[in-house]
């Protein structure tokens, strides 16, 4: 026997040398839920360790995070007035716009602020677009999403991230942003977003569950892999700067496929239920939380993700697990 793979596994030093995948603190984005009011830090039962913040408490929490290197955040608005046409989503004083302004004022270029652009937390029915004749209407929804993106850009958002899955929204947002002078605001597209039960805890956090029906007429069918390539390619052609795959853990094959078909940076979203499953099993003492979390993070990177959006980001950096 002259081939013995174990030779390179013998000591820690050699294992470090031949490691194929390395994580960096720069690859993580930390999501935040921001709500109206002041002095609020509300825990979210379905997501242990994650909270809803009002703008003032958000600033304080972000300041703590920055100290350990959490310098990219993704903001979700919660608790705005809901309407049929989601008009509060693009109000100049929406909670997200307000949060962006305050964060940029406090932290400037030390903090990179990304906003989620979607209507589900702003519509009475909880769908990601506007409804007519019992159907989520595509093009009218894109128009509203574009206004929402512009509102965020004007407030100072460094990047916008549409998560609605309407057709043509990247082109719609891109041209609307460009026409209004925001040609330099990048778009991270939730390009490949599956209709998934893994979003359950998030919908409690964001109060964004659809009142009736599901999201299957716009989010992807999890039986489809080739269609993922198509979605990513379309968004790239429409001008996306980064393409995202979501969820992440059960979709590592998709991350790999998308990585191989685009030269754009690829992000993955380690979603709420993926987080909750790990946290609950760990707090019950049934698994080693740190080791499972870090194994998952390496799996995302090994599959081809350059960027990982994860609720674990704060803990990973705070505990210096990298």
Catalytic residue among 72, 82, 104, 246: 246
Contact between 118 and ligand PBG (CB under 6 A)?
yes
Give the span between the Cα atoms of 220 and 36, in whole angstroms.
Answer: 32
Residue 189 in the binding site for ligand PBG (CB under 6 A) = no
Binding site for Zn ion (CB under 5 A): 118, 120, 128
Rounded (5°) CA angle 282-285-288 = 55
Cβ proximity to ligand PBG, 228 vs 261, nearer residue = 228
Q: Per-residue b/e over 105-140, b at no fewer than 16 CB within 10 Å?
A: eebeeebbbbbbbbbbbbbebbbbbbbeeeebbbee
Q: Which two tokens stand for residue 302?
A: 């090994």
202 belongs to the binding site for ligand PBG (CB under 6 A): yes
Residue 114 interacts with ligand PBG (CB under 6 A): yes or no? no
Copy the structure tokens of residue 145. Answer: 């999403």
- Two structure tokens written together for 4: 């013995």
Q: Write out the two tokens for 280.
A: 């609950």
* Closest to ligand PBG by CB, 272 or 296: 272
Q: Which one is catalytic: 104, 147, 193, 279?
A: 193
How near is the Cβ of 219 to Zn ion at its closest, in Å?
9
Helices 138-155, 169-179: inter-axial angle, 10-degree rounding: 40
- Note whether 176 binds ligand PBG by CB under 6 A: no
Q: Which of the choices Zn ion, ligand PBG, none does residue 271 contact, using the CB cut-off of 5 to 8 A by kind? A: ligand PBG
36 annotated active-site:
no
Contact call for residue 271 and ligand PBG (CB under 6 A): yes
- 195 closest CA partner among 278, 279, 128, 141: 128
Residue 125: name its binding partner from Zn ion, ligand PBG, none (Cβ under 5 to 8 Å by kind).
Answer: none
State the binding partner of 267 from ligand PBG, Zn ion, none, CB within 5 to 8 A by kind.
none
How is 207-252 classified by DSSP, letter by letter? T---SSS-STTTSBPTT-SHHHHHHHHHHHHHT-SEEEEES-GGGH
Q: How far is the CB of 278 from ligand PBG (least distance, A)?
A: 13
Q: Which of 120, 187, 192, 301 is in the footprint of ligand PBG by CB under 6 A?
A: 120
Asked if 193 is an active-site residue, the reply is: yes
Establish if 251 lies at the interface with ligand PBG (CB under 6 A): no
Q: Which residues are part of the catalytic machinery?
A: 193, 246
Site for ligand PBG, rule CB under 6 A? 116, 118, 120, 128, 163, 199, 202-203, 215, 271-272
């Amino acid at each position: 026997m002259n081939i013995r793979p174990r030779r390179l596994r013998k000591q820690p030093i050699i294992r470090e040398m031949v490691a194929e995948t390395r994580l960096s603190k720069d690859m993580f984005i930390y999501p935040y839920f921001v709500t109206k009011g002041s002095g609020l830090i509300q825990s979210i039962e379905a997501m242990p360790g994650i909270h809803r913040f009002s703008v003032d408490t958000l600033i304080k929490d972000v300041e703590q995070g920055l100290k350990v290197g959490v310098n990219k955040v993704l903001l979700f608005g919660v608790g705005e007035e809901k309407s049929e046409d989601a008009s509060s989503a693009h109000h100049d004083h929406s909670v997200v716009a307000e949060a962006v302004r305050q964060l940029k004022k406090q932290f400037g270029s030390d903090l990179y602020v990304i906003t989620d652009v979607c209507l589900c937390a702003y519509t009475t029915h909880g769908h990601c677009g506007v409804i007519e004749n019992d159907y989520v209407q595509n093009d009218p929804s894109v128009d509203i999403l574009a206004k929402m993106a512009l509102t965020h850009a004007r407030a100072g958002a460094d990047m916008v991230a549409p998560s609605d899955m309407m057709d043509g929204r990247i082109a719609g947002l891109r041209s609307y942003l460009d026409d209004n002078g925001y040609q330099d605001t990048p778009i991270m597209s939730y390009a490949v977003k599956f209709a998934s039960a893994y979003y359950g805890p998030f919908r409690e956090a964001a109060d964004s569950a659809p009142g009736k029906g599901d999201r299957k007429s716009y989010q992807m069918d999890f039986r489809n892999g080739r269609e993922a390539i198509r979605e990513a390619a379309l968004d790239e052609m429409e001008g996306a700067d980064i393409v995202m795959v979501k969820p992440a853990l059960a979709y590592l094959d998709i991350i790999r496929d998308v990585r191989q078909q685009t030269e754009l940076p690829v992000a993955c979203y380690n979603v709420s239920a993926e987080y909750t499953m790990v946290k609950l099993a760990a707090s019950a003492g049934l698994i080693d939380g740190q080791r499972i979390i870090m194994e998952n993070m390496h799996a995302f990177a090994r599959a081809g993700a350059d960027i990982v959006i994860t609720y674990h980001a704060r803990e990973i950096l705070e505990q210096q697990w990298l």
